[in-house]
Amino acid sequence: MKTRKEADSLGEMCVPLDAYYGIQTQRAMENFPVSGRKAHPLLIRAYAMIKRAAAMTHEELGRLDETRSKAIVAACDEILAGELANQFVVDVFQAGAGTSFNMNINEVIANRALEILGRSKGDYSHLSPNDHVNMAQSTNDTFPTAMHLAALMLLQQLIPPLRQLKHALLEKGKELRPVIKSGRTHLQDAVPMRLGDEFRAYGQAIERAIKQIDERSKDLEELAIGGTAVGTGLNAPPGYRKAMIRRLREMTAFKLKDASDLREAMQSRLAVSGISGALRGLALELTRIANDLRLLSSGPTTGLAEIHLPPVQPGSSLMPGKVNPVMLECLNMIAFQVMGNDLTIAMAVQAGQMELNVMMPVMIHNLLESMEILKNFLPILVKRCIEGITANEGRCRGYLERNPALATTLNPKIGYLKAAEMAKESLERGMSIRELVREKGLLTDKEIDETLDPSLLVDPEE
């Protein structure tokens, strides 16, 4: 393999001749061959935006000449167009704070800019990754800024599938509303309810989770850019922060603003913890809903079997005809992963020390992974599971007729203790409450119909 020699403060190394990355990236590749996983494309995109905005800002402020500025901007535009993606090679588990990744970005942009200027890769005396691409920047302020931008971009892709799921559950609630079934509390028979109302409640839970995510996302709009190393803004010229925020706002259309306290913006990653916590809350609700739907569809002969899930694949390599709730099982696993990612993020957030939290690379890897797997799967869940759910009306009706909790409706007429005796006797003798009340002559047939009318039981206010 043909190589070129590059030097940094630690000495010289050989770098592949065709590589756009340089010596510091090469060191990171040798130091951190950990997972084989590379940065999320949106983190790369966010960083390219920052470097592009910085070059334009420095030209505007008279600190970078037009020729170098335009070459850097052109290189950034290629990255934003999806080119050079194979040059971002640093593992997601890397040097603290993301210094290796920041230098990977700086070197790729510098070497591509040198090519654009008709010069050789590695000719850093003319255009340097540190002096020009990274001018007035530190990993310590660019990495958290890129984290926030990348998270906001991926949230834009996650919210529509979440709303699609909410809408599907609410629509299923309307469709199944005529079906009356036994409610359950403590996994025991409870008073009747509408099957559709059960689904409507699921939709409302997703709506609440969306609102929490939206609320927490506002904290990501505050950026640390301009704080450089410890929040003092050392080496950043007057006007740099405001110009950077303005340009990033124009590029993203987000309501970005500079941090109210740059020192806090270096030290604290509370905004990342907040959005991850909101995703954890969503994952808890998704797990609960998936578990309910698996229980409601369990059987078909020995479980509840109140609903039918669409069959999407054979469920057993041994048992012919078996069909499993695979879409919901997958949803469970995704939710567990999101919760695990949140724990990692929480541990990383509390691990900040003094003026910097160096655990940012693992935070953003886990945060973006959580959003990515949710964004990818939820539309499939809606199409291949939620929309195709149907009610087993006969099973719902059969359970309801034998439900001893119907004795609750007798409380106003015969009292709680007498109604409890009726529920107990109903179970012991295998008789419905209706049959038992008629046998004992406690109510007339008209009173029985009025008291035990399912529609009156599930909508008492109406």
pLDDT per position as a tens digit, 67-99: 999 999 999 999 999 999 999 999 999 999 999
Question: Three-class SS of residue 127?
Answer: coil
pLDDT of residue 108: 98
* Distance in angstroms (rounded) separating the CA atoms of residues 267 and 349: 10
List domains and CATH numbers for the chain.
Answer: 3-135 (1.10.275.10), 141-394 (1.20.200.10), 402-458 (1.10.40.30)
Confidence of residue 452 (pLDDT cuts 50, 70, 90): confident
Q: Where are the alpha helices (DSSP H) in 253-392?
A: 262-267, 270-296, 326-350, 360-384
pLDDT of residue 450: 83
Pairing of strands 257-258, 222-223: parallel
pLDDT of residue 462: 63
Query: Which two tokens mark 42?
Result: 């949106």
206 CA to centre of own chain: 13
User: Which of 35, 100, 276, 316 is flagged as catalytic?
Assistant: 316
pLDDT per position as a tens digit, 342-379: 999 999 999 999 999 999 999 999 999 999 999 999 99
pLDDT of residue 442: 86
pLDDT per position as a tens digit, 129-142: 999 999 999 999 99
Say what angle helices 270-296 and 326-350 make with each other, to 10 degrees. 160
pLDDT of residue 448: 87
pLDDT per position as a tens digit, 26-81: 999 999 999 999 999 999 999 999 999 999 999 999 999 999 999 999 999 999 99
pTM equals 0.94
pLDDT per position as a tens digit, 373-423: 999 999 999 999 999 999 999 999 999 988 988 888 888 888 999 889 988
- Longest CA–CA span in the chain (Å) reads 102
**Catalytic residue list contains 268:** no
pLDDT of residue 228: 97
